[in-house]
Amino acid sequence: MAFDPTSLKYDAQGLIPAIAQDHATGEVLMMAWMNAASLQRTLDSGIVTYWSRSRQAFWAKGETSGHVQHLVELRIDCDRDCLLLQVTQQGPACHTNRRSCFYTLVENGAERITSDPIC
């Protein structure tokens, strides 16, 4: 079955959540949003390109920081309303310079930061 990005289910803003997972380690790095056009750009270029909700613009991850995500594999879920991207991550994925955005653990009713910036 040919894949058509416009066949997915987007929300009222035309967006779909995209989970980025480190292809080598399985670590979940971040979650951001795509629209059909940014998904098509990702497929065409092999560089993961989100849609920035704050800037209302394409967000080619790492374009300014160099922390590029190369797409290894794209999966869609059963409801066609979420994407899973296996990526090769250059440097940190998080804007705080941590490898993953999910560096805050909740345990025993408290928050604890579990990783430091890579710098």
CB closer to a second copy out of 43 and 118: 43
Q: Are 51 and 38 a contacting pair, CB within 8 Å?
A: yes
Q: Please indicate if the annotation marks 22 as binding a ligand.
A: no
Residue 23 burial by CB count (10 A; 0-12/13-18/19+): exposed, middle or buried?
middle
How far does Cα 103 stand from its chain's mean position?
16
Q: Please indicate if the annotation marks 82 as binding a ligand.
A: no
* Site membership for a second copy, residue 47 (CB under 8 A): no
* Site membership for a second copy, residue 72 (CB under 8 A): no
C-alpha to C-alpha distance for 42 and 108, rounded to whole angstroms: 40
* Site membership for a second copy, residue 43 (CB under 8 A): yes
Per CB under 8 A, residues contacting a second copy are 1-3, 17, 19, 21, 25-28, 30-31, 43, 73-79, 82, 84, 94-96, 98, 101-107, 109-111
